[in-house]
């Protein structure tokens, strides 16, 4: 016989036991054993299926919440980085902020701004050398070729991928440390050659093909407009 105190507790607060999944599973299992193997408990089967569906819904719910928090954190990072781009009062400070504060805020290891040029020896310009490695010049059509990895396909405005064999042409000596990259094609205005903003990361999982590109596209759009003002 059940103990009087436990019996009184069950009778006085049955909802407490109904809300406990482990207790209810134990009661259902005990009821099935009591009925024997010759009887199929359709109600018990239905409860198991509902419980399985509930578990899947809870997992989906947690995944959606986690994705929402991650997206919010990414949005805040991009907003802070944009504000840091707007602070500098000289172009040199702008380039320096891009490779320091902005890179730290976005948690990337390397930032490169690649500008196409028709000059054969554009890197020899003393003004460019003062800006350091963050600003690089490249021959005409380099941006499109790098974005497509040399293939004859349409270049998307934002590309996320593992680094390729072309990495050394952008990262130089740091190419061996970079595992994934985000590439943003830039339109610097009428009459100007294409450009490209590059984020390189030592984390191979930071930039993957299946990741969303909306925030990076927004960042690239703001960056284009700021660059046009400096170039103007």
- What are the CB-based long-range contacts (under 8 Å, 24+) for 5-13? none
Count of the separate structural domains present in the chain? 2
pLDDT in tens, 126-146: 556 566 788 988 999 999 999
Average pLDDT over residues 27-42: 64
Q: Residue 227: inside a domain, yes or no?
A: yes
CATH, residue 183: 3.30.450.40
Asked if 12 and 106 sit in the same domain, the reply is no
Same domain, 35 and 142: no
Q: Are residues 28 and 131 in the same domain?
A: no
Highest-scoring range by mean pLDDT, 23-27, 42-46, 88-92, 132-136: 88-92
Q: Which residue has the higher pLDDT, 129 or 214?
A: 214
Tell me, yes or no, whether 99 lies in a domain: yes
- Domain with 83, as residue range(s), is 74-231
Residues 123 and 201 in one domain: yes
End-to-end CA distance of the chain: 91
Pick the more confident residue, 53 or 188. Answer: 188
pLDDT above 90: residue 81: yes
Query: What local confidence, expressed as pLDDT, does residue 24 receive?
Result: 74
Tell me the C-alpha distance between 47 and 41, whole Å: 10
Q: Is residue 181 part of a domain?
A: yes
């Amino acid at each position: 016989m059940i103990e009087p105190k436990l019996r009184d507790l069950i009778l006085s607060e049955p909802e407490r036991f109904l809300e406990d999944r482990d207790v209810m599973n134990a009661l259902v299992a005990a009821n099935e054993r009591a009925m024997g193997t010759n009887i199929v408990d359709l109600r018990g089967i239905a409860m198991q299926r509902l419980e399985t569906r509930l578990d899947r819904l809870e997992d989906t719910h947690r995944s959606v919440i986690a994705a929402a928090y991650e997206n919010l954190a990414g949005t805040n990072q991009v907003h802070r980085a944009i504000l840091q781009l707007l602070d500098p009062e000289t172009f040199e400070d702008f380039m320096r902020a891009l490779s320091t504060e902005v890179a730290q805020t976005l948690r990337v290891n390397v930032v490169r701004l690649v500008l196409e040029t028709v000059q054969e020896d554009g890197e020899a310009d003393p003004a460019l050398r003062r800006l350091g490695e963050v600003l690089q010049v490249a021959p005409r059509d380099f941006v499109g070729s790098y974005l497509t990895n040399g293939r004859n396909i349409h270049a998307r405005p934002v590309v996320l991928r593992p680094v390729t064999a072309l990495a050394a042409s952008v990262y130089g000596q740091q190419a061996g440390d970079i595992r994934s990259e985000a590439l943003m094609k830039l339109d610097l205005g009428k009459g100007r050659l294409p450009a490209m903003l590059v984020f390189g990361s030592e984390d191979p999982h930071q930039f993957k093909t299946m990741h969303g590109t909306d925030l990076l596209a927004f960042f690239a759009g703001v960056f284009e407009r700021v660059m046009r003002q400096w170039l103007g």
